[in-house]
């Protein structure tokens, strides 16, 4: 019995660290904060005429988003490229990385439902001299009013991030970016 109680205490302790969820006495998990999530995934990619390592060196630093989105970016906590680094763009936190990729999330905001937003940027080798930049977004859009609102939101995000991918390609291929669109216009990112 004592081992069973210790195991239950350990499970609840691990739950505090996000490793597992703590079950109630009946073995039920706590209800979801968003009872009916609708997870949207937006995969995007663009071919770049440079090797993946060169592409990543040019556009893969965590705050390089400022250059290819043409907005200010600073590291507000931690060190650029290290787990837990926070950048000023969306207060995004670096939560995963490989040699040629990183994944970030956005923090929970007071007064707003958490949409579990995550983004992954990767430079993927195709040949010895070409690569693909792959950008994938995932988030919960169940809090939007209806399917039409969800489709508008998805289209707006795809437009923003397609422009970002196009800018990354331009930069990685050693060209100059066109001027940024005025803030608030199509293609300009929201913050």
User: pLDDT tens across 134-174, in order?
Assistant: 999 999 999 999 999 999 999 999 999 999 999 999 999 99
Which DSSP letter does residue 23 get? P
Contact by Cβ (8 Å): 184, 191: no
* pLDDT for residue 167: 97
Tally the domains of the chain: 2
> Does an H or E element contain 94, and which?
strand 93-98
**Residues 89 and 25 reside in one and the same domain:** no
- Contact residues for 152 (Cβ-Cβ < 8 A; gap 6+): none
Contact by Cβ (8 Å): 146, 173: no
* pLDDT for residue 164: 97
Judge whether 191 lies within some domain: no
Neighbours of 182 (CB within 10 A): 9
**Residues 127 and 73 reside in one and the same domain:** yes
**Residues 69 and 113 reside in one and the same domain:** yes
**Residues 66 and 158 reside in one and the same domain:** yes
Q: Which pTM does this prediction carry?
A: 0.80
Least confident of 14-28, 52-66, 75-89: 14-28
Domain extent at residue 23: 1-30
């Amino acid at each position: 019995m004592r081992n069973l109680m210790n195991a239950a205490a350990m499970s609840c302790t691990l739950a505090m660290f996000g490793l597992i969820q703590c079950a109630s006495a009946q073995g039920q998990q706590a209800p979801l904060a968003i009872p009916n999530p609708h997870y949207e995934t937006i995969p995007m990619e663009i071919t770049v005429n440079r090797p993946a390592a060169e592409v990543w060196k040019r556009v893969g630093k965590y705050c390089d988003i400022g250059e290819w989105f043409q907005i200010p970016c600073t590291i507000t906590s931690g060190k650029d490229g290290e787990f837990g680094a926070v950048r000023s763009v969306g207060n995004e936190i670096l939560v995963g990385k490989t040699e040629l990729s990183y994944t970030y999330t956005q923090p929970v905001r007071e007064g707003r439902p958490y949409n579990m937003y995550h983004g992954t940027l990767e430079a993927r080798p195709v040949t010895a001299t070409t690569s693909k930049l792959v950008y994938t977004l995932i988030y919960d859009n169940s809090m939007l009013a209806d399917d039409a609102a969800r489709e508008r939101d998805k289209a707006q995000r795809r437009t923003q991030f397609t422009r970002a991918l196009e800018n990354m390609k331009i930069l990685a291929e050693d060209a100059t970016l066109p001027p940024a669109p005025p803030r608030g216009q199509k293609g300009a990112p929201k913050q």
